[in-house]
Amino acid sequence: MTGFLFARLLRAIVTLWAVLTLVFVLIHATGNPIAVLAPEQMDAAQRAALAAALGLNKPLLVQYGVFMGGVLHGNLGVSYYSNTPAMPLLLSRVPVTLELVGLAIGTAVAIGMPFGVFAALHPDSLADRALRGLSVLGASVPTFFVGIVLIFVFSVLTNVLPASGGGNIVHFIMPAITLAFFRIAFFTRLVRSSLLDSLSQQYVRTARAKGLSEAMVVLKHALRPAALPLVTVFGLQFGQLFAGTVITETIFALPGMNRMALEALFRLDYPIILSYVLVAAGMFVFINLVTDVLYGVIDPRVGHAR
């Protein structure tokens, strides 16, 4: 177990390093921030002074060294735009994003799980087929359109929920549903098919033969192995979910880290972009690690002997 964890941790660090290096190269290969930052009336000397002040005039390799050293200290420079340290600025936006993601996952599981269990216990019933139809629809509506329809119905037509802003829990209701929309359908399908699969296994027959109640059989014996693909997919889905938050935060004007990163992308505010990449990649790697460990906890058959 310790060996496994250590190997995974090492791989996580290498991944982080690779991603950061890639982004550094990409950034310096594509744009010149001075062209964006400097007002038009600035002359060449002033531009050079600005570049020097921001450390952009040094050789690339030196900039890379400074950048990597900064990563180790959690210091990624000062935001070109707001002139405050980039990392703390970005970190101050993280809780909003985490709250949004957490609420969305909670919503998706809370609705998708019972739906999926119901569909698996009544396969090919009318409700099952209706749920299947709905799940294809759920997969076909782009996140931004879900948000717009929700705003139209609940803010414009009926005025029950606020369309934008953050802070209050009320502001998170529509964004969370928007983000969860596709996942509800997805989790329903997933729980349904993996539960159907485990219901036909020997151990379920054994449990039934023991005379356990049907509820006990489903909840205790069938659902647990059925949760395994759920955990895997959850790890894989996290990335997608995270990407969806960019759109959701933008539509609902939530002050999360993704919206800040998107604004920084438009302004070529490199320290913010790099901080974002570091935080986002760190989250990815962390989630993957947790998924791997959870895997063994839920299904001891898997083990960590790999």
Partner 1 sequence: MRVELRSLPWLSLGIFMLLVICAVFASWIAPHDPEHQSLLARLTAPVWESGGSWKYPLGTDGLGRDVASNICYGLRVSLLVGFISVAISIVLGATAGLIAGYRSGGWFDRIVMPLVDLQLSVPAVLIALAVMAMTGRGLLKLILVIGVVGWAQYARLMRASVLAERERDYVMAARLLGASEFRVLFRHLLPNALNALLVQASVDIPRAVELEASLSFLGLGVAVTTPSLGLRVAQGYQYLFGGSWWPSVIPGLALVLLVLAENLIGDWARDALDPQYRGRAVRVAALAKDA
Binding-site ranges for partner 1 (CB under 8 A): 15, 18-19, 23, 26-27, 30-31, 136-137, 139-145, 148-149, 151-152, 155-156, 163, 186, 189-190, 193-194, 196-197, 229, 232-233, 236-237, 239-240, 242-243, 246-247, 250-251, 262, 265-266, 268, 280, 284, 288
Q: Between residues 107 and 245, which has the closer beta carbon with respect to partner 1?
A: 245
End-to-end CA distance of the chain: 10
Q: CA–CA separation, 180 vs 176, rounded Å?
A: 6
If the CB atoms of residues 172 and 182 are measured against partner 1, the closer one turns out to be: 182
> Residue 110 or residue 243: which is nearer to partner 1 going by CB?
243
Q: With beta carbons less than 8 A apart as the criterion, state whether 115 and 183 touch.
A: no
Separation of alpha carbons 203 and 201, rounded Å: 6
Task: Look up tokens 């996580």; give the residue.
Answer: 12
* Shortest separation between residue 196's beta carbon and partner 1, angstroms: 5
* Closest alpha carbon to 247 in 260, 258, 239, 236: 258
What are residue 255's phi and psi, to 5 degrees?
A: -80, 65
CB of 96 to partner 1, least distance (A): 18
User: Which lies closer to partner 1 via its Cβ, residue 63 or residue 216?
Assistant: 63
Measure the CA–CA gap between 48 and 244, rounded to whole angstroms. 39
Q: How far is the CB of 164 from partner 1 (least distance, A)?
A: 10
Residue type, 36: V
**44 versus 156: smaller Cβ distance to partner 1:** 156
CB-nearer residue toward partner 1: 127 or 137:
137
Minimum distance, C-beta of residue 237 to partner 1, in the bound complex (Å)? 5
For 85, list phi and psi in degrees, rounded to 5.
-55, 135
Q: CB of residue 242 vs partner 1: minimum separation in angstroms?
A: 7
- Smallest gap, in angstroms, from Cβ of residue 107 to partner 1? 18
What sign does the dihedral 138-115-290-171 (CA atoms) show? positive
* Alpha-carbon gap, residue 287 to 61, rounded angstroms: 32
Q: Considering the complex, state which of residue 176 and residue 246 has its C-beta at the smaller distance from partner 1.
A: 246
Query: What residue type is assigned to position 19 of the chain?
Result: V
* CB of 168 closer than 8 Å to CB of 89: no
Rounded Cα–Cα distance for residues 198 and 204 (Å):
7
Give the shortest CB-211-to-partner 1 separation in angstroms: 27
